Structure 1
Amino acid sequence: MDDQRRWTSFCRDAEDGSGDLVIDLPADMLAELGWKVGDRLSISVEDGLVILRRASIPTETS
């Protein structure tokens, strides 16, 4: 992870009664990574850090 860029964000309650959390991702992070609203992300915890990665989406073949 040392050669990777890191950002800090905070979790907040979704406020919909679900108990879910929302993480607001910084605009500069989205721009640098080429992520867009609606992209699917995978989440993992490594060495006490929460790691987000854009999830690959299987493509359909005809």
Structure 2
Amino acid sequence: MQNKIEQLRKDKGLTQADLAKACNVTRQTVNAIENNKYDPTLQLAFSLSKILNTEVDKLFTPD
């Protein structure tokens, strides 16, 4: 699964650390998600979409 999290995060002027803190996860978790090494839980996906002001289905695309 591919994602648009890095681009959306940068568009909002957030660092990985900023996004991680807002989602209550580590920066390493955000990095792993952005690099497609980790698929977030549904709860985390909803948190990411809320912070990035988008819908969950717009964050991720199938390979």
Bigger CA radius of gyration: 1
TM above 0.5? no
**TM-score, normalised to structure 2's length?**
0.25
**TM-score, normalised to structure 1's length?**
0.25
Q: Which has the higher helix share?
A: 2
